[in-house]
Amino acid sequence: MLECRDLRKSFGELAAVDGVSFHIAAGETYGLLGPNGAGKTTSISMAVGLMQRDGGQVLVDGEPLDPGTTKLKAKIGLVPQDLALYPDLTARENLRFFGRLYDMPRARLSRRVDEVLEIIGLSDRANDRADTFSGGMKRRLNIGIGLLHAPGLLVLDEPTVGVDPQSRNAILESIEQLGSEGLAVLYTTHYMEEAERLCDRIGIIDRGQIKAEGTRRELAQILSQHDRVRLSATGPLHEGAEALRRIAGVQQVDVTDGAIDVLVEQAGNSLMAILSALDQSGVSITGVEIDEPNLEAVFLHLTGRSLRD
Amino acid sequence: MRSALNIAAKDLRQRVRDRSIYVIALAAPLGLAAIFGFVFNPISDADFTATFAVANVDQGPLAAPLVDGVLGGLAEAGNVNLVQAASAEEATRLVEGDGERADQDIDAAIIIPADFSARVQTGRPAELRVVQNANSSLAATLALAIVEGYARELDYVQGAVTTLAAFDPARLADAAGVAGLAASTPHPVTVRDVSASTKQLDNTTFYGAGLATFFLFFTVQFGVNSLLEERHFGTLNRLLAAPVPRWSIILGKAITSFGLGLVSMLILIVATSFILGADWGNPAGVALLVVAATASAIGVMAMVSALARTSEQGEVFSSIAAVGLGIIGGTFFPINQAGGVLASLRFVTPHAWFLQGLGDLAGGSIGDILPAVVALLAFTAASSGIALALLRRRLNP
Ligand SMILES: Nc1ncnc2c1ncn2[C@@H]1O[C@H](COP(=O)(O)OP(=O)(O)OP(=O)(O)O)[C@@H](O)[C@H]1O
Ligand SMILES: [Mg+2]
């Protein structure tokens, strides 16, 4: 469905995208997982023919796609990261306008607008101006516009940013639904859980390069010899983390809110050492979980940085 | 083309919902034209007539241009009534109004003493007297202004003659030299120098047309800046990712701007004609000028807006350009009467060409507006060329 080869883009000195390649088969959901500024938006802007490339190639169904291409672009639906809709037009008018740009015949457009309003749950607000919508409703309309012309490939750029957990779940559900209906999806995010939940395959992107690619399981294999120990704790967590880093067999230590994540080669061997080191640092432990490494750990391992800001 | 029309239809729908365009495009120019028309309506308005008593005691060669030329001309135009007085005393008495001629209020007396021409011709100090009626300040001031203006002109001629006589006496005797001198000095009876562009446009039409052009640049700006607005709202990315050629986005914006500009001009022309009594002239000629002026306004504003990075910046840049060009172009007051650099500088603006074209149309036939139309189209071509070059980069991020 989509194939990107060696995409490159620089802004002045900064190589925002530095040789990114990936491909998405029909009906497949592919995730680009990376932190802020990794080059996700820049990569997909080139993939959908919105932005000029400095180098590389984009093929849609085997045909080359460039910014000047017209017809081929109709196979792609774009949901930009920043809201892209007209605040002074109603939900229905927004949908109709973009539908006409995709040359949809009148009758089919009307039907499809109603369908999409149903999918995004805005049927009862269809004739209200977009600037009267809540943030979550605007997000859903933003997604609806990308879906409207029934593209074969839907490209979503962090569609759940700034959305409350309930709406977020609704959005993820409808994307899962679309994926299962045979739509190819390109999904960017910096939320590991979203990538794990939605994507058949994931590319881990950082500083403009894809560091690793594969299914969730394949990526976890990178750290297959390792265990992840998650310690819920209170007290001087950062001091405790320092102490853990000195223990043999401990590969990574990551402090989050109220917890310390530790990547170790063999949990059984180091667990006692970990607990006593924390105890000595004055950290009190409220819970211990041992798991296989998650994408967060893989990401940290590959890039040396955390996914979170 | 279909997508361009689609974009334009969407833009117009948005603009119609935005009330500020009604103010900028219609209410402001109409309101200001009405106000300006009242405030600045000068003596040429038929309602205003002044009555002067004239005592031409001199009867000499330099009295005639004032009495027959200047005052006679105003009387003929219906702005001034003249009452002949036999002597200075009679004229003064008329102004002070002993009730002798109660049917007629005399605003001022203009007295030309017996030796006026002789003294001027021999270079001695001469005097013209104005007696003002305290009750009619405006008309009386007018009398003074007319006489002072005439005196100044005489002084000028006088000065030129004496200077020439002093430095090159031989030339004074030379017939050709005198003829040359006559040609190069302003004619004494010229009280006001009214040059071509407003000669034929009456006041109401001038302010109506001036303000309509002034605000035309703001009106088309709504269409032009909507490209920056698309960027602001992120919708430009959707347009760029849609299966439409990039030129159709530009074309759509141009159609929007044209539609807004033409409709607002049409409404303003009809409204100023019916409400304020403006006379725009031959409809075909006016239509040609309006289309050319609108095109040039779009080009110029697109060029300015293409320099901006954000829609806020675009609005600031366009406002500065629209106000600046409007003032230089003489849309608020007949700048050409200021003379000098300002009078020629105005032709760097489309506004001045449009008003010039309307003046030419009123004074002649439709063929006479050709220079103005060509100039406006030249503005369009140059500015939109630059705008497109700048936008090409913007539309290809
Ligand atoms: N138009 C631009 N001009 C200059 N630099 C840019 C531009 N767009 C992006 N960049 C830079 O390129 C890099 C990659 O940006 P990009 O938007 O692709 O990141 P991202 O992965 O989408 O991040 P986020 O998760 O924050 O959306 C960043 O360092 C960014 O500052
Ligand atoms: Mg992004």
Question: pLDDT per residue over A207-231, tens digit each?
Answer: 999 988 888 878 777 766 677 888 8
Q: Which of A256, A221, A229, A255 is nearest to A241 (CA)?
A: A255
The tokens describing B348, both together, are 């760097």
Q: What is the pLDDT of residue A6?
A: 93
For range A97-116, the mean pLDDT? 92
Q: For chain A, what percent of residues have pLDDT higher than 70? A: 97
Chain A partners within 8 Å of B1 (Cβ): none
Q: What is the pLDDT of residue B137?
A: 61
Distance from CA of B245 to the nearest CA of A (A): 6
Query: Which of A9, A85, A97, A101 best probes binding to B when mutated, by most B CB atoms within 10 angstroms?
Result: A101
Is there an atom of ligand 1 within 6 Å of A81 CB?
yes
Distance from CA of B78 to the nearest CA of A (A): 56
Task: Indicate yes or no: CB of B243 within 8 angstroms of CB of A102.
Answer: yes
For range A280-305, the mean pLDDT? 79
Q: Describe the crossing of helices B246-271 and B283-306 by its angle, rounded to 10 degrees.
A: 130
Domain boundaries, chain A: 2-220, 225-292
- For residue A303, what are the CA distances in angstroms to A130, A206, A221, B201? 40, 7, 16, 76
Does residue B193 sit within a domain? no
CATH number of the domain at A2-220, please?
Answer: 3.40.50.300
Cα separation, B187 vs B228, whole angstroms: 56
Cα separation, B264 vs B282, whole angstroms: 19
Domain match, B152 and B268 both: no
Does residue B190 sit within a domain? no
Which one has a higher pLDDT value, B332 or A235? A235
Does residue B151 sit within a domain? yes
At position B258, the amino acid (one-letter code) is F
Residue in A4, A7, A13, A14 to alter for ligand 1 test, most ligand atoms within 8 A of Cβ: A14
Domain match, B112 and B161 both: yes
Per-residue pLDDT at A22 exceeds 90: yes
Mean pLDDT of chain B: 78
Helix (H, G, I), strand (E, B) or coil at B17: helix
Domain match, B159 and B58 both: yes
Strand order in the sheet with A184-189: A76-79, A153-157, A184-189, A29-33, A201-206, A209-214
Task: Indicate yes or no: CB of B397 within 8 angstroms of CB of A50.
Answer: yes
Domain match, B275 and B135 both: no
Angle at B89 between CA B86 and CA B90, to 5 degrees: 50
Is there an atom of ligand 1 within 6 Å of A86 CB?
no
Per-residue pLDDT at B190 exceeds 80: no
Report DSSP state, residue A283. Answer: P
Which one has a higher pLDDT value, B255 or B174? B255
CATH number of the domain at A225-292, please?
Answer: 3.30.70.100
Is there an atom of ligand 1 within 6 Å of A10 CB?
no
Cα separation, B89 vs B91, whole angstroms: 5
Per-residue pLDDT at A271 exceeds 70: yes
Distance in Å, CA A41 to ligand 1 centroid = 7
- A-B CB pairs within 8 A amount to 75
Q: What is the pLDDT of residue A144?
A: 93
CA atoms within 13 A on the CB side of B370: 3
Distance from CA of B342 to the nearest CA of A (A): 43
Q: Which of B71, B46, B70 is nearest to B204 (CA)?
A: B46
Highest average pLDDT, of A61-75, A86-100, B334-348, comes from A86-100
Q: Which of A53, A28, A31 is nearest to A42 (CA)?
A: A53
Domain match, B240 and B338 both: yes
Residues present in chain A in total: 309
Closest ligand 1 atom to Cα of A42 = 18
Helix (H, G, I), strand (E, B) or coil at A288: strand
Q: Give me the residue from A68, A78, A87 closest to B238, CB to CB.
A: A78
Cα separation, B323 vs B320, whole angstroms: 5
Instruction: Answer left, alpha or beta for residue B117, where phi above 0 means left and psi between -120 and 50 means alpha.
Output: alpha
The tokens describing B307, both together, are 């320099």
Task: Indicate yes or no: CB of B6 within 8 angstroms of CB of A101.
Answer: yes
At position B247, the amino acid (one-letter code) is W
Specify the number of domains making up chain B: 2
Residue in A7, A33, A40 to alter for ligand 1 test, most ligand atoms within 8 A of Cβ: A40
Does residue B177 sit within a domain? yes
Distance from CA of A241 to the nearest CA of B (A): 43
Sign of CA dihedral A127, A131, A136, A140: positive
Distance in Å, CA B244 to ligand 2 centroid = 24
Domain match, B284 and B333 both: yes
pLDDT tens digits for range A158-209: 998 877 888 888 888 888 888 888 899 999 998 888 888 899 999 999 899 9
pLDDT tens digits for range A139-156: 999 999 999 998 999 999
Domain match, B76 and B33 both: no
Domain match, B132 and B226 both: no
Q: Which residues contact A204 (CB under 8 A, 6 or more apart)?
A: A33, A34, A210, A211, A212, A213, A219, A295, A298, A299, A302, A303
Q: Give me the residue from B17, B239, B241 closest to A88, CB to CB.
A: B17
Distance in Å, CA B201 to ligand 1 centroid = 58
Domain match, B257 and B343 both: yes
Which of residues B125, B154, B184 is at a domain's end?
Answer: B184
Is there an atom of ligand 1 within 6 Å of A161 CB?
no
Is there an atom of ligand 1 within 6 Å of A42 CB?
yes
Question: B164 falls in which pLDDT band (50, 70, 90)?
Answer: very low
Q: Which of B373, B381, B226 is nearest to B300 (CA)?
A: B381
A14 beta partners: A11
pLDDT tens digits for range B304-361: 998 888 888 888 898 899 888 888 887 776 666 556 676 777 788 899 899 888 888 8
The pTM of the whole model exceeds 0.90: no
Task: Indicate yes or no: CB of A68 within 8 angstroms of CB of B242.
Answer: no
CB A58 within 8 A of CB A47: yes
Domain match, B366 and B292 both: yes
Helix (H, G, I), strand (E, B) or coil at A260: strand
Cα separation, A34 vs A44, whole angstroms: 13
Is there an atom of ligand 1 within 6 Å of A8 CB?
no
Closest ligand 1 atom to Cα of A12 = 4
Those of residues 106-165 in A touching chain B at CB distance below 8 A are: 145
Q: Which ligand is nearest to the CA of A190?
A: 1
The tokens describing B90, both together, are 């009679």
Is there an atom of ligand 1 within 6 Å of A80 CB?
no
Task: Indicate yes or no: CB of A86 within 8 angstroms of CB of B14.
Answer: yes
CA-proximal residue: ligand 1, atom 16 (nearest): A39
Does residue B189 sit within a domain? no
Helices (H), chain A: 40-47, 91-101, 106-119, 135-147, 165-180, 192-198, 216-221, 237-245, 267-280, 295-303
For range B278-287, the mean pLDDT? 88
Cα separation, A223 vs B97, whole angstroms: 115
Helices (H), chain B: 2-17, 20-22, 28-39, 64, 72-77, 88-96, 116-121, 137-167, 169-173, 175-184, 196-199, 203-224, 226-232, 235-241, 246-271, 283-306, 311-328, 340-345, 350-363, 370-394
Quote the domain boundaries for residue B108.
Answer: 48-184
Cα separation, A217 vs A294, whole angstroms: 9
Domain match, B228 and B245 both: yes
Distance from CA of B217 to the nearest CA of A (A): 24
Which one has a higher pLDDT value, B350 or B272? B350
> Where residue B81 sits, what CATH number does that domain have?
3.40.190
Cα separation, B348 vs B163, whole angstroms: 38
Residues present in chain B in total: 397
Per-residue pLDDT at B179 exceeds 70: no
Q: What is the pLDDT of residue A79?
A: 94
Q: Which of B181, B257, B268, B189 is nearest to B218 (CA)?
A: B257
How many other CB atoms are found less than 10 A from the CB of residue B94? 24
Judged by average pLDDT, the poorest of A8-12, A204-208, B28-32, B189-193 is B189-193
pLDDT tens digits for range B28-68: 777 777 776 666 554 344 456 788 889 988 888 888 888 88
The four Cα atoms B371, B376, B382, B386 give a dihedral, to 10 degrees, of 170
Cα separation, B136 vs B40, whole angstroms: 19
Cα separation, A53 vs B166, whole angstroms: 81
Task: Indicate yes or no: CB of A50 within 8 angstroms of CB of B240.
Answer: yes
CB A79 within 8 A of CB A91: no
Domains A2-220 and A225-292 share a fold: no
Domain match, B218 and B363 both: yes
- For residue B100, what are the CA distances in angstroms to A12, B93, B97, B105, B339? 92, 9, 7, 10, 46
Does residue B207 sit within a domain? yes
Q: Describe the crossing of helices B2-17 and B246-271 by its angle, rounded to 10 degrees.
A: 50
Instruction: Answer left, alpha or beta for residue A291, where phi above 0 means left and psi between -120 and 50 means alpha.
Output: beta
